[in-house]
Structure 1
Amino acid sequence: MVDILDEIAEDIRHERALKLAKRYGGLLVLVLILILAGVAGQEYWQAHKTKQAEAAATRYLALTQQVDEPNGDITPAQAETTAKTLITFSDTAPETYKTLARLRAAALYANAGETSKAAALWTRIGADEAAPTLLRDAANLLFAQHELGIAKDSDILARLQPMVQARNSYHGLAREMQAMAYLNEGNTAMAKSFFTQVQDDPSAPQGARNRAQAMLAKLNG
């Protein structure tokens, strides 16, 4: 009796399954097609992004080849021309290469004596929330290094503040620049405090530690 009941129950389940397939079969096929299309679309998008990144890398290297040569000296005019070309490239480049191109253009402007153009680019990069954090911090640090004594000390200190935490890769250099900014505005006590932090920080660059030690010796007379 139990076997017969099991067979009847199985027939009922099978019959219901057939009815469901007839009623919703088209919808299920559509859902399956959409899922497969989504997977294929995602794979296509990833492949497209990879292809874009490879093309951007090739273009970026071609644009910077001359300025990257070990013994390659370029004139200020050539540096400015290359900087303009890099900025044009950055307008359509993927995010990382866009930021790298702007950083390189800023460096070329700075080396060519076009400090205001360099500062504008560093400011633009530092404020770009889509840019990689490491590159944004580098831009803010470069701005501080080149604009100390030109820009407002309060502006420089504000840009450096997010970088002085120990977890930040640039914290040693950021603290050194904060000390210099405080010294520039006449706050010797704060300058000494930050120079001491740099001097005593084993993870800070050795050059920064040496400079901090020299500045403390000078300030302490």
Structure 2
Amino acid sequence: MSNTDSFIDEVTEEVRRDRLFALLKRYGWVGVVVVLAIVGGAAWREYSAVQRQAQAQAFGDALRSAIDTDAPADRAEALQAVTAPSPEGAAVTDMLAASELVNAEDPAAAAALLEQAASEEGLPEIYREIAAFKAVSRTDSGLSDDERRVRLEALAVPGKPLRLLAEEQLALLDIKAGESDAALEKLQRILQDAEITAGLRQRATQLIVALGGEPDAG
């Protein structure tokens, strides 16, 4: 009886083995494809990472070479000729070139570059806000005080990343217009803000004292 059971077990095992081999022959390619996909995906990710690193290094080298140029106008021209690997890189290049154009006494061209970056739809908000702030905070931007005020108020909205800096510029516009009380109110509000930086705190305090006010302790 035990011999019969053993024989049946052996036959059953052989049947299972035959079925397994048949399945492997029929569907074994699926496993091969899965393995190739995993290995290929890992290789592509590694290749992409190396490519991104190489692009970033080439971009940094190009910026350094452009900045090493002697005259501001030449530096601006060299910076604008740099090919950026991303929209963010292009915005940084434009802002650097704008600074050099200001040094070259060409504020109109600088403002045009900054406005271009500020209006780039595919750019993350923080880059557009920085470009917009740099464009509007310059007194030689070509904008009237009323135009600057409107734009700065848009940047000073709660939740905006540069709202305190925009508020500071609005206070300076108030001072320029002879509205000392309005300027003091804005500066005191800046001092009370939890997100104020050390540099901004120092500037706001100095302005308040210069206007004859007393900085709030906070």
Q: Same fold (TM over 0.5)?
A: yes
Supply the distance in 2 between the matched residues of 1:54 and 1:206 (Cα, whole angstroms).
37
Instruction: Give per-residue Cα distances to partners, 1:80-99, cap 9 Å, x unaligned.
Output: 2221221121xx22234433
Query: RMSD of aligned C-alpha atoms?
Result: 3.5
2:187 is the counterpart of 1:195:
yes
81, 104, 111: which one aligns with 2:74: 81
Shift of 1:60: 0.9
Pair 1:28–1:185, CA change in 2 (3 A) = farther
**1:100 alignment partner in structure 2:** 92
Supply the distance in 2 between the matched residues of 1:179 and 1:9 (Cα, whole angstroms).
90
Pair 1:123–1:14, CA change in 2 (3 A) = farther
Query: Bigger radius of gyration, 1 or 2?
Result: 2
Supply the distance in 2 between the matched residues of 1:176 and 1:6 (Cα, whole angstroms).
88
Supply the distance in 1 between the matched residues of 2:12 and 2:167 (Cα, whole angstroms).
77
Contact 2:98–2:110 (CA under 8 A) maintained in structure 1 = yes
Aligned residue for 1:24, secondary structure, equals helix
TM-score, length basis structure 2: 0.72
2:33 is the counterpart of 1:30:
yes
Shift of 1:182: 6.2
Supply the distance in 1 between the matched residues of 2:171 and 2:84 (Cα, whole angstroms).
37
**2:129 alignment partner in structure 1:** 137
TM-score, length basis structure 1: 0.71
155, 158, 161: which one aligns with 2:151: 155
User: Which moves more between the two structures, 131-140 or 4-13?
Assistant: 4-13
1:94 counterpart letter in structure 2: P
Supply the distance in 1 between the matched residues of 2:11 and 2:167 (Cα, whole angstroms).
81
**1:209 alignment partner in structure 2:** 204
2:76 is the counterpart of 1:117:
no
Contact 2:152–2:167 (CA under 8 A) maintained in structure 1 = no
User: Which moves more between the two structures, 30-39 or 98-107?
Assistant: 30-39
Pair 1:15–1:189, CA change in 2 (3 A) = farther
Shift of 1:150: 1.7
Supply the distance in 1 between the matched residues of 2:29 and 2:105 (Cα, whole angstroms).
69
146, 154, 158: which one aligns with 2:138: 146
In structure 1, stretches of 5+ residues that fail to align are 67-73
User: Which moves more between the two structures, 40-49 or 200-209?
Assistant: 200-209
Instruction: Give per-residue Cα distances to partners, 1:45-98, cap 9 Å, x unaligned.
Output: 1101101111111111111124xxxxxxx6xxx322221221121xx2223443
Shift of 1:146: 0.6
Supply the distance in 2 between the matched residues of 1:187 and 1:10 (Cα, whole angstroms).
96
User: Which moves more between the two structures, 36-45 or 132-141?
Assistant: 132-141
Pair 1:28–1:209, CA change in 2 (3 A) = same
- Percent sequence identity is 24
Supply the distance in 2 between the matched residues of 1:27 and 1:62 (Cα, whole angstroms).
52
